[in-house]
Amino acid sequence: MSEERLQKLLARAGLASRRGSEKFLREGRVTVNGAVAALGDKADPARDAIKVDGRMLKLPAGNRYLLLNKPRGYLVTRSDPEGRPTVFDLLPAKTSRGLFPVGRLDFHSEGLLLLTDDGDLAQRIAHPRHGCTKLYKVRVRGRPDRASLDRLRKGILIDRRRTAPAKVRLLRGRANEDNAWLEVELGEGRSRQIREMFFRIGHPVKRLRRIGIGSLSDPRLPPGGVREVTPREVERLRQGGGPARHRSGGGRR
């Protein structure tokens, strides 16, 4: 193995988040080969004796990958000062140790969320330069016309920054005078981006569901359901590429 930052190793061992692990280091509770470690120090767990509060650090045998179908009404965070439910409340404590969510879904949004302890894969999925797009089903108030959708396809200003071009498709058979269902594919993931995009063209989002993360999709995973991501799926995510589309309904439940 190669050297890694200690806060990353502590997080992977499930002791705390990376930010919490930094606190361990600032408090002098971590040693490497008998010497007190500092924030920013690196170590190789294969050859270095890493201890926290005098106890040897134990790392999982390999990286873990879970796919969660996030329901509405959950925060994508480890804990919330206001006591609101988080996605980690849906997992057994032992299962979630060391895992962190890749990307965002806001409190009222739902759909697929990847949780892992693999920082390299997380970076590959989250950063636009790697080309891992995300696919969403979106219900909006009213029915956007072609000109409005073309604005989204070309990019729209949000906080004085133009969004990257998006793929937007009106779904046939899912529109009426009151609302429309659309499929949206994004290559970036700014905070509340889809909600802001449709708000600016006068069609606020009523429901938002992520149905694909790169090549990863699972229309049979129920809300609140979680499963292991297969090695083949992980390898396809590493290779990048566009979303895996499926024919699950976008609407009526």
| Rounded average pLDDT over 220-248 | 82
What CATH number does the domain containing 90 carry?
3.30.70.580
Give the C-alpha distances (Å, rounded to integers) separating 227 from 44, 51, 182, 183, 222. Answer: 31, 32, 27, 25, 10
Is the domain of 137 the same as that of 205?
Answer: yes
Is the domain of 203 the same as that of 137?
Answer: yes
Residue 185 predicted with pLDDT over 80: yes
Is the domain of 103 the same as that of 149?
Answer: no
Is the domain of 45 the same as that of 149?
Answer: no
Residue 23, in any domain of the structure: yes
Burial degree of 61 (CB within 10 A; 0-12, 13-18, 19+) = exposed
Please work out, in degrees rounded to the nearest 5, the angle formed at the alpha carbon of residue 205 by the alpha carbons of 165 and 67.
75
State the total domains in the chain. Answer: 3
Is the domain of 181 the same as that of 222?
Answer: no
% of the chain surpassing 70 pLDDT: 92
Burial degree of 188 (CB within 10 A; 0-12, 13-18, 19+) = middle
Active-site position among 41, 44, 80, 106 = 106
Average pLDDT score, the chain: 88
Residue 248, in any domain of the structure: no
| Rounded average pLDDT over 153-182 | 87
First-last CA distance in the chain: 48
What CATH number does the domain containing 152 carry?
3.30.70.1560
Residue 85 predicted with pLDDT over 80: yes
Residue 249, in any domain of the structure: no
Is the domain of 231 the same as that of 116?
Answer: yes
Is the domain of 29 the same as that of 79?
Answer: no
pLDDT tens, residue by residue, 127-151: 877 788 999 999 999 999 999 999 9
Told to judge if 118 belongs to the known catalytic residues of this protein, a careful annotator would answer: no
Residue 80, in any domain of the structure: yes
Residue 100, in any domain of the structure: yes
Among 9-18, 73-82, 158-167, 206-215, the minimum mean pLDDT is found in 9-18
Domain that holds residue 108: 65-128+214-239
Model confidence, pTM = 0.76
